[in-house]
């Protein structure tokens, strides 16, 4: 009988977390090791503020992501946000559908039920989530954020069968973050193009996950309080070295949870997003000081989920 280590290695999974934390040989298609993502970009006004702040601070932005959900944006708001992203040639990533915390079920709010993450409850919620994707894709969206393993599988299947665009990027949420190599590989096999892993993993544990998957890793360098509040700026050189290709993300400590957002919170969300860009500037300075040899993907990279023209155009 094989040992656990021997069996894991026989199926091309690491038999343990590598103590030497070897550098990742993988890269983005353009040769880059890292990209910059600004999360929680809740709508067109916020996206405009992110890009304005990034211009002032000379911060490169490859991707923005939104967390409140497509269902809580009007067609006009989505269209405006996608047009801003298209002009800037950045990836605009929007969260899909309802989630268990929006539903009438109470388990998600119980101490044990928090393990549900933001999964979908029942066939109706799954259907609603797919309608969210179809609606946004018709408006030109080319990057969706999922937090439910079943929706990941179905959306990838729809993409493969031509029901959704072949260039649609499927990004998995930190709310379903895989904490080991086998779990990360499942998400990749189901069709994820970019995987958010937990922000509390050690560099060695991150290296183990990288050895098991080929797609980019998304990582909160600074995590919001509701997922731990970790601040890991000085570890950025090691994160790039072992996890490339990696999207470096910047949440905020001591910030309110604004999901679901809307015009009633817009001024707050704009201020939070400007601060996230400032945090990204700090990260760029760390890279400049401690790993200037790290290669950033060029802006306007060809594989980004840059919005397309609306289907009716």
For the chain of 313 residues, list the mean pLDDT of each consecutive stretch of 10: 95 95 97 98 98 98 97 97 98 92 75 71 95 98 97 98 98 95 98 98 98 98 95 98 98 94 95 98 98 98 96 61
* pLDDT for the residue 286: 98
Phi, psi of 195 (to 5 degrees): -125, 125
User: Taking the CB of residue 169, how many other CB atoms lie within 10 A of it?
Assistant: 22
* pLDDT for the residue 313: 47
* pLDDT for the residue 274: 98
* 143, β-bridge pairs: 169
58-72 burial code (b ≥16 CB/10 A, e <16) = ebebbbbbbbbbbbb
The pTM score is: 0.95
CATH 3.20.20.70 applies to domain 32-290: yes
Distance CA 143, CA 132 (A): 12
* pLDDT for the residue 311: 81
């Amino acid at each position: 009988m094989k040992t656990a280590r021997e069996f894991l290695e026989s199926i091309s999974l690491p038999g343990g977390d590598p103590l030497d934390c070897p550098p990742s040989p993988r890269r983005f298609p353009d040769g880059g090791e890292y990209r910059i993502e600004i999360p929680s970009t809740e709508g067109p006004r916020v996206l405009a503020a992110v890009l304005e702040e990034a211009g002032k601070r000379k911060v490169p932005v490859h991707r923005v992501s939104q967390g409140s959900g497509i269902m809580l944006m009007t067609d006009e708001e989505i269209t405006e946000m996608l047009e801003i992203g298209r002009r800037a040639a950045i990836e605009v990533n929007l969260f899909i559908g309802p989630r268990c915390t929006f539903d009438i079920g109470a388990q998600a709010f119980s101490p044990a039920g928090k393990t549900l993450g933001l999964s979908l409850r029942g066939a109706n919620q799954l259907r609603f989530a797919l309608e969210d994707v179809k609606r946004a894709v018709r408006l030109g969206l080319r990057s969706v954020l999922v937090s439910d393993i079943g929706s990941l599988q179905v959306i990838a299947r729809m993409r493969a069968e031509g029901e959704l665009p072949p260039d649609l990027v499927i990004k998995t949420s930190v709310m379903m973050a895989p904490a080991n190599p086998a779990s990360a590989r499942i998400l990749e096999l189901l069709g994820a193009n970019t995987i958010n892993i937990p922000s509390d993993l050690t560099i060695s544990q991150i290296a183990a996950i990288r050895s098991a998957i080929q797609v980019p890793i998304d990582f909160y360098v600074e995590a919001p309080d509701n997922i731990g509040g970790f601040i890991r700026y000085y570890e950025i050189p090691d994160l790039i070295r072992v996890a490339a290709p990696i999207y470096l993300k910047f949440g905020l400590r001591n910030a309110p949870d604004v999901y679901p957002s809307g015009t009633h919170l817009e001024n707050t969300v704009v201020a939070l997003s400007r601060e996230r860009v400032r945090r990204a500037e700090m990260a760029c300075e760390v890279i400049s000081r401690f790993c200037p040899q790290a290669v950033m993907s060029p802006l306007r990279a060809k594989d980004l989920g840059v919005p397309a023209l609306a289907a009716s155009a």
